[in-house]
Structure 1
Amino acid sequence: MTALADQSVLLTGASSGIGEATAHALAADGADLSLLARRKERLTTLADELEASHDIETLVVPTDMREEAAVAEAVDRTAETFGGIDVVISNAGLGRGSSVEDLSTEEYQAMMDTNVDGSFFLTRAVIEHLRRSEGNLIFVGSFAGKYPRPFNPVYAASKWWVRGFAMSVAGQVGEDGIGVSVINPTEVRTEFGSKDGTAFEDRFEPGEVTEPEEVAEAIAFAAAQDNSTVNELDLYRRDKFSGW
Structure 2
Amino acid sequence: MADELSGRIALVTGASSGIGASTARALATDGANVALSARREERLTELADELEADYGVETLVVPADVREEEAVESVVADTVDRFGKLDITVVNAGLGRGSGVDISTEEYRTMMDTNVDGAFFTTRAVLPHLRETTGNLIFVGSFAGKFPRPANPVYAATKWWLRGFAHSVEAAVGEDGVGISVVNPTEVRTEFGSEIDEAFEDRFDPGEVTEPEEIADAIAFAAKQTNSTVSELDLYRRDKFSGW
TM-score where L is the length of structure 2: 0.99
Stretches of structure 2 that go unaligned for 5 or more consecutive residues are none
Count the aligned residue pairs: 243
The superposition leaves residues 161-205 of structure 1 with CA deviations (integer Å, 9 ceiling, x where unpaired) of 000000000000000000000000000000001112100000001
1:78-99 CA distance string (max 9 Å, x none) = 0111110000000000111111
Matches of 2:190 and 2:46 in 1, distance apart? 18
Asked whether the equivalents of residues 35 and 79 of structure 2 are also in contact (C-alpha less than 8 Å), the reply is yes
> 2:100 maps to what in 1?
99
Matched letter for residue 26 of structure 2: A
User: Could you tell me which residue of structure 2 aligns to residue 164 of structure 1?
Assistant: 164
Question: Match of 1:30?
Answer: 31
- Partners of 1:179 and 1:99 lie apart in 2 by 35
Amino acid at match of 1:21: S
State the identity %.
70
- The list of structure 1 runs, each at least 4 consecutive aligned residues, that deviate by more than 2 angstroms after superposition, is none
Report the residue type matching 1:56 in the other structure: V
* Cα offsets for 1:24-68 (capped at 9, x unmatched): 111000000000000000000000000000121000000100000
- Following the alignment from structure 2 to structure 1, what is the Cα–Cα distance between the partners of residues 109 and 96? 11
Partner residue, 2:18: 17
Q: What amino acid maps onto 2:97 in structure 1?
A: R
Match of 2:76 in 1: 75
SS, match of residue 62 in structure 2: strand
Q: What are the ranges of 5 or more consecutive residues in structure 1 without an aligned counterpart? A: none
Matching residue of 1:188? 188
Distance 2:167 2:177 in 1: 15
Contact 2:181–2:231 (CA under 8 A) maintained in structure 1: yes
Q: How does 1:1-244 map to 2 (within 5 A)?
A: 2-100=3-101, 102-244=102-244
Residue pair 2:99, 2:196 contacting (<8 A) in 1 also:
no
Per the TM alignment, residue 124 of structure 1 is displaced from its structure 2 partner at its CA by 0.4
Give the distance between the partners of 2:161 and 2:100, measured in 1 at CA: 19
SS at match of 1:49: helix
Q: Deviations over 1:123-151 (max 9, x none)?
A: 00011000000000000000000000010
Deviation at 1:2, TM superposition (A): 1.1
Q: Give CA-to-partner distance per residue, 1:89-127, whole Å, 9 cap, x none.
A: 000001111110x21111101110000000000000011
Match of 2:184, SS? Answer: strand
- Aligned partner letter, 1:222: A
Q: Is the contact made by 2:15 and 2:37 (CA closer than 8 Å) also made in structure 1? A: yes
| Aligned mates of 1:10, 1:24 — CA distance in 2 | 12
Deviation at 1:3, TM superposition (A): 1.2
Query: 2: CA distance between counterparts of 1:60 and 1:193?
Result: 26
TM-score using structure 1 length: 0.99
RMSD: 0.6
Q: Is the partner of 1:62 in helix, strand or coil?
A: coil
